[in-house]
């Protein structure tokens, strides 16, 4: 950056074209430098559970993989979120970037949103507090956060066209809260607008959202960037308040924006304001004088390993314990380790949050590490839980053709080690047009067992899969978009084929590129697997019978918990429920280790001895799970989302498709404020596990609830005593109940919480400050927050329903505040 110039002077020394250049990407992950004025390049990279770096979603430079959002949500620990944010700041730097596209703070409105794993909670305050911690950690390193997706992106179904119809009070009191806290308390430098429309207008074109609320009401001075290809117009987005169109090269700006200024559709002053916002971000992150060549490094740091392992335990929620946990490492007991997630480490969800981890530790490996060997362990898979047939790996030849139908000469050849790709930018060594080429991938598959196998693929264009020269799965002539690759890929096309153990069968995938409507990329994946059945379950049960203890590693995978689709239900995939029933019947000491990005129905709950939820805890997954099993760490998590008995109990699960998943382009948030535990309170429905639930390996006593007025606030204090034999953590949750609300209001709302880590016998004090806003509702008429005078009961609870201490306070005088 030129010395001695302020960014205001700098923006005024730029031509209109130069200012416009700052308002869109030059490629997928960066904004172009300005050599004339000496302005560097701004680079961004995806989060939130790490920093993937540029390039493709798959197979980039290795990165540290941290726990996913819902696991951090379960930690109820903003200080931990801050530590993670700071560590991810290091990771962003190692990828040569200045901006992290994180955190994700959409609210768990339904239990099926494909991206719930990436978001923190059903609760706006818990979400906001964790986001503030994360942002402070990240920005303390000089790396900008980009809190996303602003706003109303609570489902992945038709996310680029649907309109989220949300009344203003629900927006102000729930969906906007994390963003407001990120601006006012976290000081975020970046925000990403969502793909969807909000009340009929695309978020990226929504002046009310991006200018009136964000900059007017909240005083935001950072930038707003579009989600990838989420800007669809020139003047409307610029005028609404969208600073940066991503990715590049631009579709909507550049010459089109210059023409819009010349035509008077956008004022030169508006362009200046947007460019100034960009320069402010570049100054804050140092990008303004960063001329280094782009370089990415893999830094596998011991301190990151330790933080990830600790954070994994802090987010693990112990749901049931008959007393069997923690296990005694020295007992010599034999353990049958069973289930699809036992030998495959489930460390993260799918979509843009995925990265190439330094390594991943499976539960099996974690147990081997903890026990110093596998002599006490035995293994059975028992059932599968994949959404797609297992990825074909090995050595494959990829031949590219400059035609769409495999005609003409091969123009480029590559060797690949699995049949999976997510290609953006130059394809086929730059020898083909990314929108008009074809590809033949050939190799072999050698089965381990004789018998019928399932072979399938999904792809962003016409494709077919051949085994030993015969077509097994085919959509060459009738490709249609389905629910893979952000709704740009087909559904999986699967066929059955009889294969011979030990024989190398020839496998060929043929693919033809098709131009995408929304996002522009080429992606495909092919796999082959042998289905498991009741015999495999019987084998697993026999192993459980022969062992002292059975540890069942079940759940979902990042194929299910992923961007671009919503879950079809909340049952464990495949035959896992049958597997759990059989193993529990075979061995009374059955422990279920659950890994999912949200709730599941648990019809077997009464039949097992213990259950804990480990979510997707990052690269240390198996070590974290072993730490919890053997009590080397305390399960510090509390549910950030209500777990219903059945799917139908959840708030947006009405019979009306307009409420979910949407009808005729609209999703009506008709339940208003009554989502999460507020819905269960209102309807009198008992959840399976309430919001805030989680057991500990020690016990706590709470006493002396004290509420002291302090200026406009009330200070709530509670003594917490660890009366058990070991160190542990507890979360005091403070819910406020309005005794005579002026507007319809949830029975109780979470207004503060405190997590305490206490040694055996130690006493601590939980302290929560309730400000006037903690008692307020948003009044649409006057557009003010109003806290009435009168009685409010303050409850301190272990969960939203297990309320331990309470006291009623009296607020004197009405408090009104402009938003
Ligand atoms: C996601 C964003 C992500 C972006 C870039 C989009 O599909 O919605 O969260 O940051 O891609 O990968």
- Structure confidence by residue, pLDDT tens digits, 206-218: 999 999 999 999 9
Q: Is 255 a catalytic residue?
A: no
| Separation of alpha carbons 183 and 215, rounded Å | 10
DSSP at 535: H
Contact 530, 453 (CB under 8 A): yes
The share of the chain scoring above pLDDT 90, in percent, equals: 95
Ligand 1 atom closest to 195 (CA): 8
What residues have CB less than 8 Å from 420, skipping those under 6 apart?
Answer: 58, 391, 524, 525, 526
Of residues 249, 189, 171, the one with CA closest to residue 225 = 189
Residue nearest to atom 6 of ligand 1 (CA): 228
Residue nearest to atom 11 of ligand 1 (CA): 228
Angstrom distances, CA of residue 219 to CA of 215, 600, 727, 772 = 5, 41, 43, 20
Q: Would you tell me how many other CB atoms lie within 10 Å of the CB of residue 216? A: 14
Question: Binning pLDDT at 50, 70 and 90, where does residue 4 land?
Answer: confident
What residues have CB less than 8 Å from 704, skipping those under 6 apart?
Answer: 717, 718, 719
**Ligand 1, pocket-test mutation among 119, 245, 350, 563, most atoms within 8 A of CB:** 563
What residues have CB less than 8 Å from 347, skipping those under 6 apart?
Answer: 65, 357, 360, 616, 617, 618, 619, 621
Backbone angles phi, psi at 309, to 5 degrees: -65, -45
The share of the chain scoring above pLDDT 70, in percent, equals: 99
| Separation of alpha carbons 334 and 765, rounded Å | 42
DSSP at 1: -
| Separation of alpha carbons 3 and 787, rounded Å | 50
Q: Would you tell me how many other CB atoms lie within 10 Å of the CB of residue 726? A: 14
Question: Does residue 352 line the site of ligand 1, with CB under 6 A?
Answer: yes
If you measure from the C-alpha of residue 352 to the centroid of ligand 1, how many angstroms do you get, rounded to a whole number? 5
DSSP at 491: P
Contact 471, 456 (CB under 8 A): no
Ligand 1 atom closest to 47 (CA): 10
User: Which tens digits make up the pLDDT trace of 265-305?
Assistant: 999 999 999 999 999 999 999 999 999 999 999 999 999 99
If you measure from the C-alpha of residue 210 to the centroid of ligand 1, how many angstroms do you get, rounded to a whole number? 19
User: Which tens digits make up the pLDDT trace of 521-575?
Assistant: 889 999 999 999 999 999 999 999 999 999 999 999 999 999 999 999 999 999 9
Percentages of the chain per state (helix, strand, coil), in multiples of 5: 25, 30, 50
Is the bond preceding 151 in cis, omega lying within 30 degrees of 0?
A: yes
Q: Please tell me whether residue 717 adopts helix, strand or coil conformation.
A: strand
How much is the average pLDDT of 394-421? 96
Question: Does residue 148 line the site of ligand 1, with CB under 6 A?
Answer: yes
Question: Does residue 252 line the site of ligand 1, with CB under 6 A?
Answer: no
Residue nearest to atom 3 of ligand 1 (CA): 352
DSSP at 256: H
User: Rounded mean pLDDT of the chain?
Assistant: 96
The secondary structure of 172-197 as a DSSP string is IIIITHHHHHHHHTS--SEEEE-SSE
Contact 564, 363 (CB under 8 A): no
> Which ranges in 616-747 belong to alpha helices (H)?
621-630, 677-683
How much is the average pLDDT of 650-655? 81
Question: Does residue 46 line the site of ligand 1, with CB under 6 A?
Answer: yes
| Separation of alpha carbons 376 and 740, rounded Å | 61
Question: Binning pLDDT at 50, 70 and 90, where does residue 500 land?
Answer: very high
Of residues 150, 15, 92, 502, the one with CA closest to residue 297 = 92
Is the bond preceding 149 in cis, omega lying within 30 degrees of 0?
A: yes
Ligand 1 atom closest to 352 (CA): 12
| Separation of alpha carbons 312 and 616, rounded Å | 8
For tokens 């019809």, what's the residue? 603
Question: Strand ranges (DSSP E) for 289-428?
Answer: 317-321, 335-338, 377-380, 393-401, 410-418, 420-423
Name the pTM for this structure.
0.96
Question: Does residue 101 line the site of ligand 1, with CB under 6 A?
Answer: yes
If you measure from the C-alpha of residue 94 to the centroid of ligand 1, how many angstroms do you get, rounded to a whole number? 20
Question: Does residue 156 line the site of ligand 1, with CB under 6 A?
Answer: no
pLDDT of residue 676: 96
pLDDT of residue 2: 67
If you measure from the C-alpha of residue 227 to the centroid of ligand 1, how many angstroms do you get, rounded to a whole number? 6
Ligand 1 atom closest to 146 (CA): 10
Q: Has residue 616 got a pLDDT over 70?
A: yes
Q: Has residue 652 got a pLDDT over 90?
A: no
Q: Please tell me whether residue 783 adopts helix, strand or coil conformation.
A: coil
| Separation of alpha carbons 493 and 364, rounded Å | 32
Q: Please tell me whether residue 249 adopts helix, strand or coil conformation.
A: coil
Question: Binning pLDDT at 50, 70 and 90, where does residue 590 land?
Answer: very high
If you measure from the C-alpha of residue 597 to the centroid of ligand 1, how many angstroms do you get, rounded to a whole number? 18
- Token pair listed for 300: 């596998």
pLDDT of residue 486: 86
What residues have CB less than 8 Å from 680, skipping those under 6 apart?
Answer: 642, 644, 649, 686, 687, 690, 800, 801
735-766 burial, b for 16+ CB within 10 Å, e for fewer?
A: bbbbeeeeeebbebbbbbbbbbebeeeeebeb
Q: In what order do the strands lie in the sheet with 610-613?
A: 317-321, 610-613, 590-595, 549-555, 335-338, 377-380
pLDDT of residue 550: 98
If you measure from the C-alpha of residue 101 to the centroid of ligand 1, how many angstroms do you get, rounded to a whole number? 8
How much is the average pLDDT of 25-36? 97
Q: Which candidate in 46, 123, 227, 627 is catalytic?
A: 227
Helices (H) and strands (E) in the chain, counts: 17, 36
**Ligand 1, pocket-test mutation among 44, 228, 349, most atoms within 8 A of CB:** 228
pLDDT of residue 434: 87
Q: Has residue 519 got a pLDDT over 80?
A: no
If you measure from the C-alpha of residue 563 to the centroid of ligand 1, how many angstroms do you get, rounded to a whole number? 9
pLDDT of residue 393: 95
């Amino acid at each position: 950056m030129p010395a001695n110039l302020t960014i205001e002077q700098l923006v005024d020394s730029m031509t209109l074209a130069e200012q416009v250049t700052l308002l869109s990407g030059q490629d997928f992950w960066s904004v172009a430098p300005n050599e004339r004025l000496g302005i560097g390049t701004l680079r961004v990279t995806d989060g939130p559970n790490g920093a993937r770096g540029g390039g493709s979603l798959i197979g980039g430079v290795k990165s540290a993989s941290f726990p996913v959002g819902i696991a951090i949500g379960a930690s109820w620990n903003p200080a931990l979120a801050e530590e993670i944010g700071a560590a991810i700041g290091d990771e962003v730097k190692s990828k040569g970037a200045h901006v992290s596209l994180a955190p994700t703070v959409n609210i768990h409105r339904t239990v099926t949103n494909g991206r719930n794993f990436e978001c923190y909670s059903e609760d706006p305050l818990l979400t906001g507090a964790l986001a503030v911690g994360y942002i402070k950690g990240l920005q303390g390193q000089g790396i900008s956060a980009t809190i996303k997706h602003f706003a109303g992106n609570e489902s992945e179904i038709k996310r680029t066209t649907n309109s989220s119809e949300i009344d203003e009070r629900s927006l102000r009191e729930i969906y906007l809260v994390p963003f407001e806290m990120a601006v006012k308390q976290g000081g975020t430098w970046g925000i990403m607008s969502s793909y969807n429309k909000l009340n009929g207008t695309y978020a990226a074109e929504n002046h009310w959202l991006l200018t009136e609320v964000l900059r007017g009401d909240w005083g935001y001075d950072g930038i707003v960037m579009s989600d990838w290809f989420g800007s669809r117009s020139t003047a409307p987005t610029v005028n609404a308040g969208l600073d940066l169109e991503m990715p590049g090269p631009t579709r909507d700006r550049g010459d089109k924006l210059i023409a819009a200024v010349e035509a008077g559709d956008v004022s030169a002053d508006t362009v200046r304001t947007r460019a100034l916002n960009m320069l402010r971000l570049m100054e804050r992150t140092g990008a303004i004088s960063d001329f280094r060549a782009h370089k990415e490094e893999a830094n596998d740091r011991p301190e990151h390993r330790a933080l990830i392992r600790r954070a994994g335990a802090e987010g693990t929620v112990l749901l049931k314990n008959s007393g069997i946990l923690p296990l005694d490492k020295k007992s010599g007991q034999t353990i049958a380790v069973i289930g699809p997630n036992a030998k495959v480490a489930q460390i993260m969800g799918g979509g843009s949050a995925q990265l190439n981890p330094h390594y991943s530790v499976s539960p099996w490996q974690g147990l081997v590490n903890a026990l110093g060997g596998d002599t006490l362990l035995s293994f059975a898979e028992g059932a599968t839980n994949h959404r797609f047939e297992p990825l074909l790996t090995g050595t494959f030849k990829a031949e590219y053709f400059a035609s769409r139908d495999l005609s003409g000469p091969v123009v480029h050849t590559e060797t690949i080690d699995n049949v999976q790709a997510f290609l953006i930018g130059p394809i086929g060594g730059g020898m083909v047009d990314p929108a008009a080429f074809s590809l033949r991938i050939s190799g072999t598959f050698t089965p381990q067992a004789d018998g019928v196998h399932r072979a399938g693929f999904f792809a962003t264009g016409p494709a077919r899969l051949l085994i030993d020269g015969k077509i097994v799965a085919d959509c060459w002539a009738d490709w249609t978009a389905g629910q893979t690759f952000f709704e740009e890929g087909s559904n999986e096309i699967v066929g059955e084929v009889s294969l011979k153990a030990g024989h190398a069968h020839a496998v060929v995938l043929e693919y033809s590129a098709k131009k995408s409507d929304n996002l522009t990329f080429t992606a495909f994946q092919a796999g082959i697997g042998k289905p498991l059945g009741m015999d495999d379950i019987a084998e697993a049960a026999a192993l459980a019978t022969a062992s002292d203890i059975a540890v069942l590693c079940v759940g979902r995978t990042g194929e299910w918990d992923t961007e671009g689709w919503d879950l079809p239900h909340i049952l464990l995939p495949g035959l896992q429920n049958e597997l759990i029933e059989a193993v529990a019947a075979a061995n009374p000491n059955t422990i279920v280790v659950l890994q999912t990005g949200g709730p599941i129905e648990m019809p077997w709950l009464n039949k097992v001895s213990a259950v804990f939820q480990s979510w997707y805890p990052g690269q240390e997954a198996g070590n974290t799970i072993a730490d919890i099993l053997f009590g080397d760490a305390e399960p510090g998590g509390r549910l950030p989302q209500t777990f219903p008995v059945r799917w139908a109990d959840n708030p947006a699960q009405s019979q009306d498709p307009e409420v979910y998943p949407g009808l005729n382009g609209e999703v009506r948030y008709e339940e208003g404020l009554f989502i999460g535990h507020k819905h269960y309170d209102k309807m009198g429905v008992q959840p399976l596990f309430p919001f805030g639930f989680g057991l500990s390996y020690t016990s706590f006593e709470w006493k002396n609830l004290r509420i002291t007025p302090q200026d406009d606030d009330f200070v709530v204090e509670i003594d917490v005593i660890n009366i058990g034999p070991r160190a542990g953590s507890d979360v005091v949750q403070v819910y406020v109940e309005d005794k005579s609300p002026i507007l319809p209001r949830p029975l109780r709302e979470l207004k503060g919480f405190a997590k305490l880590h206490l040694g055996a016998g130690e006493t601590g004090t939980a302290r929560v400050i309730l400000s006037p806003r903690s008692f307020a509702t948003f009044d649409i008429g006057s557009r003010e927050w109003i806290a009435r005078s009168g009685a409010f009961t303050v409850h301190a609870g272990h969960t939203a329903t297990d309320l331990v201490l309470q006291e009623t306070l009296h607020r004197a005088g009405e408090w009104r505040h402009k938003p």
